[in-house]
Structure 1
């Protein structure tokens, strides 16, 4: 897929992987609409893209934890760009807490709205235009934690597992339409939103492989988009729990012995 002039809607673009991805996509010539809750951060990203010689992105400050916000964003982004040829569902929320403590309360429901329902709603909003055009790409960012049931991270892992399943199902549903579906599976990434650092460890956090940089993750995503991939894990070791679920359960069992819940 040639990104030159391609209209792209990217969520979660104000920080972390999303911010790095906005710069990487703009450098390849994409026209962007960027969305996140923090509009000030988005404006800074848009200014930086323009300063680097790219087309200034359309900016949408939107809270995707609110039901209905995603569908509105899809319509607004299509109006701003003329159409959406690539949708990248990168926005995500984390939550540390047990099911006993949080149940199905507001925090849990907001996480699922952001991490699962909003990607589904956004895809629904832009797919008619992609079908009409005969091509397009939906990119869903899941997580290796979908196969690693770490205590107190169950809500995040469950939402990402649901999104992963929906992603694979959508690929089958769009067979023959010209619209492709790509799952991105990030592993440990050096961002501010690392829930593993917030867990109630008994002593100190378990040792994990060094996290990759957001810029490294962004480059991997761009290569996957341009190369027509169906799934891309970065780093590659992040794929292990998905392909060998027993490994994910073993990792979670080891971590559980070190976590106070």
Structure 2
């Protein structure tokens, strides 16, 4: 796929992987609508892209933890771009909480609204556009879908659900002309890495060095351009996906090091 001139909606574009991805797509010539909760940061991203000679993205402030926000975002993206040919469901919320304490409280429900229900709502709303153009749905999940680490269950479960629905969506859209791509990031250097937020007993567990958001974004762009069905970055994150016993073993090793109260 040649991305020059292609209209793309990227959610969660104010920081981290989403910001780096917006910059990488703009560098390929894509026309962008970028969305996130923090409008000021989105404006900075758009100004930076415009200052490098690319088309300035359409900026849409949207809180995808709110039910109904996805439909509003889809309408705004189509109004701003004319159409959407690639939808990147990258926005994600994290949460460090014990299930026994939180249950289905407001925070847990907001996480699932952002990580699961909003991607589904955006996909449904934009499918007519995507069918007409032979477009692509890109869902960003996580390697934690296969690693049941204590206190990260809400995040991992939401990403596991999105991963499963991504695979079934691919089958449901077989022959429609719409491509479905799952992106599975491993440890990435962002402002709020889950490993740093856990209440460790003593020092945090040593983990492999995280990759940069820029390298993750480049891997995503290449996966889109090459029409892949799944992209995993770094490649070592394939291990718990293909051999789930490894993910369960990691969780068993990590659990005694976490202060569960």
TM-score by structure 2 length?
Answer: 0.99
* Secondary structure, counterpart of 1:205 in structure 2: coil
Identify the residue that residue 227 of structure 2 maps to in structure 1.
228
* Secondary structure, counterpart of 2:43 in structure 1: helix
Give the drift of 1:195.
1.4
Give the drift of 1:132.
2.5
* Residues 196-211 of structure 1 aligned to structure 2 (within 5 Å): 196-211=195-210
* Secondary structure, counterpart of 1:48 in structure 2: helix
Identify the residue that residue 255 of structure 2 maps to in structure 1.
256
Structure 1: how far apart are the matches of 2:35 and 2:192? 17
Structure 1: how far apart are the matches of 2:4 and 2:199? 46
* Residues 236-255 of structure 1 aligned to structure 2 (within 5 Å): 236-255=235-254
In structure 1, stretches of 5+ residues that fail to align are none
Identify the residue that residue 173 of structure 1 maps to in structure 2.
172
Query: Root-mean-square deviation (CA), in Å?
Result: 0.6
* Secondary structure, counterpart of 1:3 in structure 2: coil
Q: Say if 2:99 is the partner of 1:99.
A: yes
Q: Say if 2:80 is the partner of 1:65.
A: no
Identify the residue that residue 131 of structure 1 maps to in structure 2.
131
Deviating above 4 A after TM superposition, structure 1's stretches of 4 or more consecutive aligned residues are: none
Structure 2: how far apart are the matches of 1:111 and 1:74? 20
Structure 1: how far apart are the matches of 2:207 and 2:227? 31
Once the two structures are superposed, residues 45-79 of structure 1 have per-residue CA deviations (whole angstroms, 9 ceiling, x without a partner) of 00000000100000001100000001110111011
Structure 2: how far apart are the matches of 1:22 and 1:198? 26
In structure 2, stretches of 5+ residues that fail to align are none
Give the drift of 1:220.
0.4
* Secondary structure, counterpart of 1:32 in structure 2: strand
Once the two structures are superposed, residues 7-56 of structure 1 have per-residue CA deviations (whole angstroms, 9 ceiling, x without a partner) of 00000000001111111000000000000000000000000000001000
Give the drift of 1:196.
1.4
Once the two structures are superposed, residues 66-97 of structure 1 have per-residue CA deviations (whole angstroms, 9 ceiling, x without a partner) of 00001110111011111100000000000001
* Residues 34-73 of structure 1 aligned to structure 2 (within 5 Å): 34-73=34-73
TM-score by structure 1 length?
Answer: 0.99
Q: Say if 2:22 is the partner of 1:22.
A: yes
